[in-house]
Structure 1
């Protein structure tokens, strides 16, 4: 095997290396930390009025998206497949935004009917 072919194969193997135990634990603790922050916000900060609910909800959404990224990137092995990762995040977000717009429009229609 030529050195160029060997170098390319070695680079490819490093790039798509399987998850080691230490990497799995690292991702686990990141996900655990994000979840702990969500619980602290939900069970301590919001009930005591430190963070208003209308500020907490977007924070929950961002933290949940961060967890989704970690799960998709590391456990579904899409970290090195940029296009796949991009599509797996953007396509559902576009559909969710469309669903929210349709439901908002529909709710206005039902409110108008009640008047």
Structure 2
């Protein structure tokens, strides 16, 4: 091969690498744009990073919109549970509570997550 062909190949590879870097750096993947398998994995990973006391806005910024949500007011306390899809159960095209991890908020502060959180919500 002559030197001109090798230079063209190297220039093409460099341009491709630059394009990939720019796309990854400036266009982060949003949970809303993921297919359901990627979203489940993303949600599982992000839920492990949660801290009790996080605000509802912080959680929504991290996980995106919930798949299912429920809320009620008890006296002066606003209680909300948000369900984020984390495991596949049935191939029916629907997201159900048994395919989700519940996150429990009291007055917009995260107080619990997991199956116990939803049971606590139901009993209160």
TM-score by structure 1 length?
A: 0.26
Larger strand proportion of the pair: 2
Structure with the higher fraction of residues in helix conformation: 1
